[in-house]
Each structure stands twice: as C-alpha cells, then as structure tokens.
Structure 1
C-alpha cells in the first residue's frame, strides 16, 4: 500500500500546481476502478463528464485544465503530460517493493575466479562459472546460470531460470525476464558427406545498456564476432533472434517475432507480433512492420510494410480490398462465361442480341 500525500506525489512527478495537498494517497488506479484513497489520471478533458461520480481521492489532469470547472471533488494535480506523471508514480511505487532477498544465498554455486561487485544479490541454486564478472547492484534471482567469462554490468536484473552462456556481455541496466536464453548456439549446419554437419558457433551475444528481454526469448550467439542488441531496445516474450543479427537502438520486437541470421535491423524499428524476417537483409531506421507479416526483402528507412510477403502498407491494403471482392468477381465471371457459351451456336446478330439482352 502506498503512503503518500498529494504534495509528495507532486514532488515525485515534478508537478507544480496542486489542490488539497494534504490529501492521502494509498493506491494508484484506473478511472474504471477508482476508489477512496486512489489516484488516477486523465489525458484530456473529453471524458470530464465521467468525473462527477469518480470515487478517487486525487486526479492528474492536463495543465490546459487550469481555470476550468472540473466536476471532481478530490485533489487535482496539473501536469504537462498526465500519463508520464502517473508512470513516474508507478516507478516510485514499484521501487518500494522488495522483489528479492539481498545478499548471496548459501545454495548458490559461485566460482572462486568469478568477480562480484558491490551490493550484488545472488538467489538460491544459481550457478556462476569461472571468470564471470557481475557489476555493482546487479540482482540475479534463483536458478540462473551464468557461464564462463560472462560480463554483466551494473544495476541489471536477471530473473529466475535465465541462462547466459559463455563469453556473452550484458552492459548496464539490462533486464532479463524469467526464462530468457542468451547465447545458445546459432542454427548453423553445412551438408557434407551426406549429413548435416554442425558449424561451431564461436562468437557471443552483446546486449547494450537498458535492453530488456522478456520471458522465453532466445538470442543466439554469433557464428563468429557478435550478435548485437543496441541500447534501449525492448524484446517481447517468445522472440527468436538468430546468429549474427545486429539490432540498433530503441527498437521494439513484439511477441513471437522471428529473425533469421545475419539480418541488420536499424534504430527505432518496430516489428509487430509474429513478424518473420528472412536472413541476410536489412531493415532501415524507423521502419515498421505489421503483425504476422513475412519479410522476404530489405525495407528502406522510414517505411511501413505489411502482409505476406510484406509490401508497402498502402499496396497491401489495396490488395486486401481486392481479395475481399473476389467471391463477387468470381460469381460475375461465371455468369458472363455462361452467357458466352450460350451464344456459341448463334449467328453474329443472334450473339449480339443475346449479349445485349434483346
């Protein structure tokens, strides 16, 4: 439970103007689930008519609402961006929760040659191999595996059952959600002497600062050199990233995206759910790909693609519109074909009359 006053909430969010600063806040809640002691936010005044029955104790509204008659009896906070102000309060509330047990659990197995920074926590049954380095304030939850010579930066969170294989690098503020696998062998084989022969995958994976990888996502190590995920990129659950892929900064990959090997993905790219990328191609900066699209060729910067195979969104939507009309078009075609067949044995003028309906 939160224990804040409206004045304290204003300080956390940088909000300058408030009313009823001594009002107590005990929870953050949505407009739909507002209750006594709760704080909500409103991004525009279009829903202001809903406020007269709002049971919350406090509300964040846009600065543009100053001086207007708002039908709400609780405390008001005026913010440039109400949603971001609310998120800052969520960050504050989340930071108050103790998600892990501090210190090194006695069942953790840590190599004598591993180096742990200040204030590192390691959970039960976690294994940290020879030569691994863990930065200050990093938290490793139970049942994780940190391979030989892995480097983990400062202030990272590694949740339960994460595997980080040998030689991989995590920079600072990386979050790996439960079950993420970093550095498994890339899917590399060559057909020789009648068999698929394994190609050793001797590279690694490098995750930049502030990268988040969510549950059960797999990022394969490079054949040689590195598979690289750039700073601030966020990767959803159940994503597969192949060997030698390079992803730029601040890109987003939604659930079940699959990226084949040696693909270059730029900065600020958005790949929606279940997008598949063939290998050896490039996706330009700020490109967007719609859900369930199959990308077979490179995409220029700033373009939005959709469909299977993926094409510029405008073309894809035109094609979809035509496809929806196919049953009707097919019916008309069969009618026209039948009319033509009925005129085969008629004279020229008979055929003309038949087609004209005379």
Structure 2
C-alpha cells in the first residue's frame, strides 16, 4: 500500500522537500528496519546520521541543514518531526468500526440511550440509564455502567470499564482493561477492624483524555475524581479517589497518585512517580521517574528524587552520595593515623616530678 509521494506528504505536512518529489513511500520504519521504500525519521540532530546511513528511501527530520549535509537524499524537513510523524502514521491506522451496530451478544438496557452511528461489539454491557454519544465505539467486552455518560466519538477497547455514574467527554479513549470508577481505598478502623467507607462519588474525564491499559481511576468518596481535558495516562497507573488532574497532563507507567492529589495543567510525570495524599503540584512541573512528592510543589521546573527537589539539587545530591565511600575511607585513614600517633603534651604543660 502506498502512503503517498514525497510531494503529497510535503503538501500535507507543510514540509520543505529535498530530492525526488515523485518518490513513492510505501511504509514507515524505524532506522534499523528501514528498506528502500521506507520513510524513516530523525526527531532531532542526535539521530540524523543513523537515519541518513540507513536503507530508507526518504527521511523525515527537523534538522534544517540536513539537505546541505546529505545532498541527493530524499528529505521532508519540518519544524516538529514528532508531530509530523504522528500525522503520517495516522494515515496507516486502521479505520474504526462504523455503526449503527449492536452485536447480538451485547446486553444493552432498554433505558440506555444510544446516539447516531454507535458501534457496540460482542459481549459488551450498557447499563440502565447510560448514554452513549454519536459515533462512539465499544469493542468486545467493554462495559458502560448504569447512568454513565460516554461522549461523542469515544473508543472503549476490549474489557475497558466506565462504571456507574461516571462521565467521559468527547473523543475519550480507554485502552484495554482500563477501569474508570472503581471504589476508592476508603476505610475506617473501628473496634479493631476495617470498616468500608462507601465511595458515592464518580469520575469525570474531560475531552480527549486517554487512559492506558490496566490503569485504574478510582471514583471519589464524595464529589468527583477529575481528569482534565487532553490528559494522557499510561498503562498501569493508579489515580486514587478525589484526585484532580488539570489539562494536558502526561503520566508515564506505574505512577501512583494518592488520594486528593491536586495536579495543575501541563504537568509531566515519568514512570513510577509516587505522591503523598493531599499534595498540590503546580502548573508546568516535570517530575522525573521514581520521584516521590511528599509536599506541595508550586514553582514550574524539573524535579527529581524522594522527597522530590529541584533536579539540579538532586543531581548534586547523587554526586555527593557516590563520593561517600571514598570520604568514609579517608575519615577512617585519618582516624587510624590519629590513634597511632604519639600524643604531644599541651603547650605550657610540665612533666610531673
């Protein structure tokens, strides 16, 4: 299958073209797998040499001087290589199922409302009073609970769950086995045993939110757990009850947010970040992997470590920690030298007769 000619893609992307405008691109490949009909990519200058030396017939890059460095190469030069790559790969993505369609094995409560051109796959369940927006798709085994609301053009992958009373905005994606609306971890310790505190709130997902496979977003104890517009949550992430995440937050795998963590807009979290409950993380904060947030972080910047501090301070701390064994050896050497040296009399002291 031909994706397009170099000239066609240059027009779509607003790219500067170098080389043969009629060159036909049949596939997009990483550098290691590229072949003469491939388009490969160099998202910045670090990867340009490897891309140019690959077998790819054309290269997508944001390096302005690439045409001068590698004359004769077929190039698409853009301002944002990753954004352009996303648009090209979108042309390869399989089309979504088109409704209206309800599989015979699906269970749809008579009181549920289905919008126009909704597609519901095998063994799906749609509860009483649920609403499914126009052109939304539920793949095999997905469930929408009672009184839950799914917006327009949403996609629920196999076994994804949007449980009772929860709300998903437009163009929301729940990856396979994502759970939205599980009970929050709320218990009172009474007379020597745990007593469950009912979790009667819900979860609200803004427009264009994506929840990764096997991620869990707990419903609020009261009120709502909120995930803001455009936020992307990776696989195996836990968001506890009553958390509030702002707009366009990015959270990598195995991160855990304790209850009532408040996160601002445009925050980025690496893998395995953890937060203490009831902390606030301000707008445009970036947390490197394995950071532990024990107290509020308000100023924009890059933070790391546990407890999380500004990344420069954390790197200095790591350097000092690596030097500790040598420092300890020096201290022990000095102690041994001090203990074996003859003791001098203090100045002015006289020998007793």
Please indicate, yes or no, whether the TM-score normalized by the shorter chain is above 0.5: yes
Q: How does 1:271-282 map to 2 (within 5 A)?
A: 271-282=269-280
CA distance in structure 2 between the aligned counterparts of 1:105 and 1:69, rounded to whole angstroms: 56
- 1:151 aligned partner: 149
Could you list the per-position Cα deviations for residues 216-269 of structure 1 after superposition, in whole angstroms to 9, with x for gaps in the alignment?
Answer: 110000010000000111111111111000000111111111111011111111
Report the CA distance between 1:347 and its aligned residue: 4.1
CA distance in structure 2 between the aligned counterparts of 1:53 and 1:260, rounded to whole angstroms: 47
Could you list the per-position Cα deviations for residues 164-188 of structure 1 after superposition, in whole angstroms to 9, with x for gaps in the alignment?
Answer: 1100000011111101000001101
| Partner-residue secondary structure (3-state), 1:314 | helix
Q: CA 1:259–1:115 in 2, change beyond 3 Å: closer, same or farther?
A: same
Of 327, 348, 354 in structure 1, the residue corresponding to residue 345 of structure 2 is: 348
TM-score, structure 1 normalization: 0.88
Q: CA 1:109–1:33 in 2, change beyond 3 Å: closer, same or farther?
A: same
Could you list the per-position Cα deviations for residues 128-183 of structure 1 after superposition, in whole angstroms to 9, with x for gaps in the alignment?
Answer: 10011011111111011211000000111110111111000000111111010000
Structure 1, unpaired ranges of 5+: 351-358
- 1:30 aligned partner: 30
| Partner-residue secondary structure (3-state), 1:210 | coil
Structure 2, unpaired ranges of 5+: 348-353
- 1:126 aligned partner: 124
- 1:87 aligned partner: 86
Could you list the per-position Cα deviations for residues 305-354 of structure 1 after superposition, in whole angstroms to 9, with x for gaps in the alignment?
Answer: 211222222222222222111111212222222233334x734279xxxx
Q: CA 1:318–1:7 in 2, change beyond 3 Å: closer, same or farther?
A: closer
CA distance in structure 2 between the aligned counterparts of 1:49 and 1:128, rounded to whole angstroms: 52
Over aligned residue pairs, what C-alpha RMSD do you find? 2.5
- 1:251 aligned partner: 249
Q: How does 1:127-276 map to 2 (within 5 A)?
A: 127-276=125-274
Report the CA distance between 1:293 and its aligned residue: 1.7
Report the CA distance between 1:67 and its aligned residue: 7.3
Q: Is the 8 A contact 1:173 1:211 kept in 2?
A: yes
Q: Is the 8 A contact 1:101 1:123 kept in 2?
A: no
CA distance in structure 2 between the aligned counterparts of 1:25 and 1:188, rounded to whole angstroms: 55
CA distance in structure 1 between the aligned counterparts of 2:187 and 2:193, rounded to whole angstroms: 9
Q: CA 1:110–1:82 in 2, change beyond 3 Å: closer, same or farther?
A: same
- 2:41 aligned partner: 41
- 1:354 aligned partner: none
- 1:356 aligned partner: none
